[in-house]
Amino acid sequence: MLSARIRIAARLLVVAALAAMTAGCFQPMYAEHTDGTPGLRDKLMGVEIPPVDKANASREARVGVEIRNALAFKLYGTATGAPPTHRLVLRFTTSRSSLIVSAATGLPTSENYGIDVQYNLINNTTNQSVMTGTTFSRVSYDIPGSYQRFSRQRAVRDAEDRAANEVAENISNRLAAFFTAGT
């Protein structure tokens, strides 16, 4: 009985010692640095997001603006950032597919909308690519009646916005990881 208590106390002592040794290693990701180096927020504010190259007045151009605006808000918190140190080039494709088709009308009642994005982070001083990646989003939406074309258009637009937001979240998380860890 006494030896079991001693083993438990020894284990707790080891856990406490390990916790004390690693306590100074933790630093919040978005915390300000006290040593004068720029924090993550400052690094993200230096990422320029040029307009996406899509045909004017197309659906994809609207989606490109939505992705760009969502990214700007996630990176800067406002519409513009600091003087650019990096440039984020985006290329994307979209897709729609019918999931459920009504047997009575032959029209879809549920569809999927997808965005596949390739992004490239370029250092402005060296004009070299420092990070590339891909991400995607798939969202589904229902069409609330086979002949309600305006509600169908709104459902498609909402799906585009949700997919663009999801893609922007994925890219901003990847950029934060890159600027924090350097890889």
> What percentage of residues in the chain have a pLDDT greater than 70?
89
pLDDT digits (tens, 9 = 90+) for 110-124: 889 999 999 999 999
Gap between the Cα atoms of 50 and 68, Å rounded = 8
Is the pLDDT at 23 greater than 80, yes or no? no
Please report the pLDDT score of residue 150 as a whole number. Answer: 86
**What's the first-to-final CA gap in the chain, in angstroms?**
51
Closest CA to 178 of 81, 58, 75, 102: 75
The model scores a pTM over 0.75? yes
Please report the pLDDT score of residue 25 as a whole number. Answer: 65
Quote the distance between the C-alpha of residue 50 and its chain's center. 17
Please report the pLDDT score of residue 146 as a whole number. Answer: 60
> What percentage of residues in the chain have a pLDDT greater than 90?
49
Closest CA to 108 of 54, 166, 173, 159: 159
Band of the pLDDT at 180, cuts 50, 70, 90?
confident
pLDDT digits (tens, 9 = 90+) for 47-100: 999 999 898 889 999 999 999 999 999 998 876 667 899 999 999 999 999 888
**Tokens (6 digits) for 3:** 């030896």
Q: Which domains can be identified in the chain, with CATH numbers?
A: 38-181 (3.30.160.150)
Please report the pLDDT score of residue 50 as a whole number. Answer: 93
Quote the distance between the C-alpha of residue 88 and its chain's center. 13
Q: How do 86-101 and 47-48 pair as beta strands?
A: parallel
Listed in sequence order, the DSSP H helices in the chain are 2-22, 40-45, 59-76, 149-181
Of 100-104, 131-135, 165-169, give the lowest mean pLDDT range: 100-104
